[in-house]
Structure 1
Amino acid sequence: MSSHRLAVTDWIEFEEERHQVAGLDGATVRLRSENGRAQTIMLSVLLADSSFRAAVEPPPTALMDADAHPDPAGVLASLDKAVKDAALKLEAHLLEAMTGYRSGDPLSAAADEPRPQYDPALPQVVRVQAKAQELGVTERWMWKLWARRTENGL
């Protein structure tokens, strides 16, 4: 098998359709077809598929649909390290305020979680107040940011 290097924004052909690489995440690839359909597939499966072709020309109207939005994970992967780290740190703050855990998942809790002021047993509004105070921002800003993250992803 020949080797292929894929990068976010590359165009490929797969299953007789052109796709843009929207994100790479270790063993998986997020693809967006030329008509906007998104899918995630194992990189090894994609590369072994007989219909896979690398480095194809983008379609003439590549994802120009008014409803098409960039894949947030793909955008995040393309950012420089400092910006990406800042975004991930902010997301951890939001998740801690909303769930009590920086990962958002009690099964992935750090050793010091939950911190007392973010205990999941506390009302969410109390956790948001604590996080706003910790960050030196308003509660309203926290709720707005959470709404944006909920709607658009990171």
Structure 2
Amino acid sequence: MKRPAGVLEVGDRIRFEGRIHVLAGLDGPRCRLIADEGADVQVLLLTQVLGAQGFAVLEHSRPGPRRVPALGPLDGLGPAVRDKAVAWERHIREVETGHADPAPKGPPRNGYDPAVCGLAEREAAKAAELTARGEPVSVATVRRMRARYREQGVWGLVDGR
């Protein structure tokens, strides 16, 4: 499905203040930008970014794996918190695309092929898989994590407790 003109989403590459950034998160009127080099993270008002001289959308994110640097936004977090967020990203990617890896090799695992299973079935499969591994997860949790990932990228998967 083609995105309407003028709509920004997490994962878009933009030019702001003469540098290339990835839009790593949207939270109400604020946005999180990560410099393409991955070292600089800024939280700014979205209107400030959109109204800046020289602002341009360079590349829209594509459906599927996010192009936000996997660990850039998570630097500074403890290893256990970071690892859990990255693991959730792989789970969400598998539910949405059928493949946990950004560069898939081979067909999707049983229960995750979008050509065969509907989204609700894939969400249920992921909840059952995680629960069977000893991490009780409901279908509602999988849906909530998918929504958070769509809104905020990998940062939305961080356990804030």
Question: What's the TM-score once normalised by structure 2's chain length?
Answer: 0.48
Secondary structure in 1 matching 2:108? coil
Instruction: Provide closer, same or farther for how the CA distance between residues 76 and 33 of structure 1 changes in structure 2, counting only shifts above 3 A.
Output: closer
Secondary structure in 2 matching 1:118? coil
Which amino acid in the other structure matches residue 122 of structure 2?
Answer: R
- Pair 1:132-2:127 in alignment: yes
- In the alignment, the residues of structure 2 paired with residue 94 and residue 33 of structure 1 have an alpha-carbon distance, to the nearest angstrom, of 25
- In the alignment, the residues of structure 2 paired with residue 144 and residue 90 of structure 1 have an alpha-carbon distance, to the nearest angstrom, of 11
- Which one of the candidate residues 73, 96, 115 is aligned to 2:94? 96
Q: What is the RMSD computed on CA atoms of the aligned residues?
A: 3.4
Gaps of 5+ in 1: 1-13, 16-21, 40-71
Instruction: Provide closer, same or farther for how the CA distance between residues 31 and 90 of structure 1 changes in structure 2, counting only shifts above 3 A.
Output: closer
Alignment-derived partner of residue 111 in structure 2? 117
- Which one of the candidate residues 51, 67, 81 is aligned to 1:83? 81
For the 8 Å contact 2:127–2:142, the answer to whether it is kept is: yes
Instruction: Provide closer, same or farther for how the CA distance between residues 78 and 123 of structure 1 changes in structure 2, counting only shifts above 3 A.
Output: same
| Structure showing the higher helix proportion among its residues | 1
Instruction: Provide closer, same or farther for how the CA distance between residues 117 and 32 of structure 1 changes in structure 2, counting only shifts above 3 A.
Output: same
- In the alignment, the residues of structure 1 paired with residue 41 and residue 85 of structure 2 have an alpha-carbon distance, to the nearest angstrom, of 22
Alignment-derived partner of residue 43 in structure 1? none
For the 8 Å contact 2:93–2:100, the answer to whether it is kept is: yes
Query: Shift of the alpha carbon at 1:127?
Result: 0.8
For the 8 Å contact 2:35–2:41, the answer to whether it is kept is: no
Choose between structure 1 and 2 for higher RCO, CA contacts under 8 A separated by at least 6 residues. Answer: 2
Alignment-derived partner of residue 147 in structure 1? 147
Query: Shift of the alpha carbon at 1:140?
Result: 1.2
Secondary structure in 2 matching 1:32? strand
Secondary structure in 2 matching 1:119? coil
Percentage of matched positions with identical amino acids: 31
Query: Shift of the alpha carbon at 1:120?
Result: 2.1
Query: Shift of the alpha carbon at 1:32?
Result: 3.0
Gaps of 5+ in 2: 1-16, 19-32, 56-69, 132-136, 155-161
Question: What's the TM-score once normalised by structure 1's chain length?
Answer: 0.50
Instruction: Provide closer, same or farther for how the CA distance between residues 139 and 33 of structure 1 changes in structure 2, counting only shifts above 3 A.
Output: closer
Indicate the structure (1 or 2) with the bigger Cα radius of gyration: 1
